Amino acid sequence: MDKEEIGSLCERILLDLDNIFRKDIKILEFDLIDVRESKCNKSPVIFVNNCLALEKWCVPHIYQFANEKLLSTKYLNRIDLDVLNQWTRIVLLINPDYSTAWNLRRKILIRSKEYLADLEFSELVLERKPKCASVFNYREWIFNYFRQSFLTDPELAENLVANELRVTLKASDKYPRNYYAWSHRSWLLLIFLKNFSFEFLIDKIIEDLRTTTEWLQKHISDYSCFQYRQHLFNFVHSLHNRNNRINHRNNVNHKTINNHNDGQCDFESSNTAKFSSENDFLKSLDRFASNTNHSQSNSHLNCSLRKFEQSFFDEFILLDSLWKFYPDQECLYLHRRYILKLALKWFPERLDTLEKQEFEFNEKILKGLILNRPKEVWLNEMINRYRSFLKHHLNNSSFECQDF
């Protein structure tokens, strides 16, 4: 094809795609597909059962065409938003890591204000490239930039965050150990913190622990999920400690609170600062604490904290159930060590109970594994490492390592 024919083809592709996106339907998937032979008299855009595809033979032509248009764009205000939207859309569907195109979409969105449509579009991009950091960064930017727009409607805000949790879990399904998806999910906690009550936040985290438990049982080797759960436990514990400190300062000296609210914080947030900024985290919590009527909310808060404490100790029950089916998964040993270490640090009064629990775990599960699978060196090595950990932290000689 000559240059004029290619240009005509590309314009037709952009028009066909635009007609599909203008329909009031949700596009479920996008992909590039191989075809045995190209048919230049037929559109390479395929749309069946709400799934969109583009024939691969036309990708070099349409990508070069749209990219040249974008790079030659000097005066954005003089270009029709719909045209610019078409160019960036096709470029990002093909190459989601193209930062220039995402930046142009930011400028489009600032003018159009149609952030809900762009959340849908970026979700479609994730269907093909679920581990694309640029997409998650763009979605975070939308939440930050248009925060005031959707926070006037609490129901919409809650639905948006719930949808975001669904999107991250789906991306993690499609791409194992999806660091960007789990980090984005952690960042969402900051959204909750800024706009909802403390007890509501804890209840949502408990709900998220249940949701990720179901996901974890199907993806046992994905340590990213274990790490995310550790983050949730640390997050709530840090919130609780922070809230207690502010309450104490309120009771002791009102002047201390005034000095404290200048943003100079001495709080160490452990693993809680995996969001965009630790300062944002601390300032949000300060605003929450200063605006909360603690005398009215304490009963609800204490109830939520008791539920969360139970969820924390249920983690041992979950691990016991998983061990029966996946005894050779190192992530189970590492996660149990982490949770036990937190339990010993946060609940020192439960030392005897924890020691009894781990003794039963050693007797009922670990010893049985050694007896049934004595020749599996790696399994026995993991068991010995865990026993060594127990002996060191519980100061109990019952957890002696064995030589094989």
Residue 278 pLDDT exceeds 90: no
Look-up of token digits 């609170």:
257
How many angstroms separate the first and last alpha carbons of the chain? 71
Give the number of domains in the chain.
Answer: 2
In a shared domain, residues 227 and 315: yes
Average pLDDT score over residue span 163-187: 94
- Verify that 325 and 198 share a domain, yes or no: yes
Q: Which of 299, 329, 346 is the last residue of a domain?
A: 346
Q: Where is mean pLDDT largest: 166-170, 360-364, 395-399? A: 166-170
Region 283-306 average pLDDT = 63
- On whether residue 21 sits in a domain, the answer given is no
Give the DSSP per-residue string, 162-230: HHHHHHHHHHHHHSSS-HHHHHHHHHHHHHHHHHS-HHHHHHHHHHHHHHHHHHHHH-TT-HHHHHHHH
In eight-state DSSP terms, residue 79 is S
- Strand (E) positions, 319-374? none
User: Which amino acid, one-letter code, is at 139?
Assistant: R
Residues 332, 284 share a domain? yes
pLDDT tens sequence across 29-69? 999 999 876 655 578 999 999 999 999 999 999 999 999 99
Is residue 393 domain-resident?
A: yes
| 278 shares a domain with 237 | yes
- Per 3-state DSSP, the chain is made up of helix, strand and coil in percentages (nearest 5) of 75, 5, 25
Assess whether 250 and 318 both reside in one domain.
yes
Q: Are the C-beta atoms of 51 and 29 separated by less than 8 Å?
A: yes
- 68: three-class secondary structure by DSSP: helix
User: Is the pLDDT reported for residue 264 higher than 60?
Assistant: no
Residue 404, domain member (yes or no): yes
Q: Which domain holds residue 312?
A: 193-346
User: Average pLDDT of 69-88?
Assistant: 80
Q: Which DSSP string corresponds to 369-391?
A: HHHH-TT-HHHHHHHHHHHHHHH
Higher per-residue confidence, 64 vs 403: 64
Which helix (H) or strand (E) segment is 113 a member of?
none
Give Rg (Cα) of the chain. Answer: 26
Do 276 and 383 belong to one domain? no
CA distance 195 to 158: 10
Same domain, residue pair 197 and 250:
yes
Whole-Å CA distances, 281 to 208, 245, 285:
20, 16, 6
Range with the lowest mean pLDDT among 40-44, 99-103, 397-401? 397-401
Residue listed under structure tokens 């403390």:
198
Q: 359 and 339 in one domain? A: no
Cβ-based neighbours of 41, under 8 Å, separated by 6 or more: none
Q: Is residue 203 part of a domain?
A: yes
Going by C-alpha positions, the residue among 319, 237, 222, 313 that lies closest to residue 271 is 237
Say whether both 328 and 369 belong to one domain: no
Average pLDDT on 284-301 reads 57
* Same-domain pairing of 297 and 374: no
pLDDT at 79: 72
pLDDT band at 77 (very low <50, low <70, confident <90, very high): low
**C-alpha–C-alpha distance, residues 188 and 275, integer Å:** 8
Same domain membership, residue 389 and residue 276: no
Q: How many residues does the chain have?
A: 404
Of 328, 346, 364, the last residue of a domain is: 346
- The pLDDT of residue 246 is 66
Q: What angle do CA 194, 198, 203 make, to 5 degrees?
A: 115
